[in-house]
Amino acid sequence: MLSLNTLRQETYANWEVLHFCKAAYPHALLSWNVDDATAQRLPYTNQPFKTDIRQQFGDLRKRHTWQQAAIYYAALSMLCGYLECLQILCWATIPNYLGQDLIMEHYQTELHDCLFQMPKFIEIIKAGLEQLYQRPDLSEERAQIEASRNINLLPV
């Protein structure tokens, strides 16, 4: 089980990346432009971030709030990250395809549920599967997806 601090840090990282991808100002310096200690404190010091989470998910003292927020922003930051459809498909089905993903590891079912509720997701998966079977350089990814049982979650 993830600690409350980890959930909060994950939520912040995803919230920040989402803002960055949208070229929106996250009301603080980007965490990769400050030192480690400051970056660690950002989830606690960034007021607009806390207001955002409070308005959408409720009491910041509760675990449930951060769990929901972490899952929501994990899904949204990935769909709004301008990745290619295929990369999103692989991220959703192959464990650690893009790198370590704590939320995917611990809350895979909830994250998949959340993704399917987002309007663009089905379209993206469809296009991703088309790329997967059309491009000859993707045999490795194809084998991994077919081997993983996650393919059952996809509407094919």
Contact residues for other proteins, defined by CB under 8 A: 13-14, 17, 20-23, 31-33, 39, 74, 77-78, 80-85, 87-88, 91, 96-102, 104, 120, 123-124, 127, 135, 137
Write phi, then psi, for 34 (nearest 5 degrees). Answer: -125, 170
DSSP classification of residue 112: H
Pick from 69, 52, 96: nearest CA to 9: 69
Cβ 89 to other proteins shortest distance, Å: 10
Cβ 61 to other proteins shortest distance, Å: 25
Residue 1 or 23 having the CB closest to other proteins = 23
Residue 21 or 60 having the CB closest to other proteins = 21
Cβ 153 to other proteins shortest distance, Å: 18
Q: At what angle do helices 121-134 and 85-93 cross, to 10 degrees?
A: 100
CA distance 56 to 78: 19
Computed from CA positions of residues 132, 153, 56, 106, in that sequence, does the dihedral angle turn out positive or negative? Answer: negative
Residue 59 or 129 having the CB closest to other proteins = 129
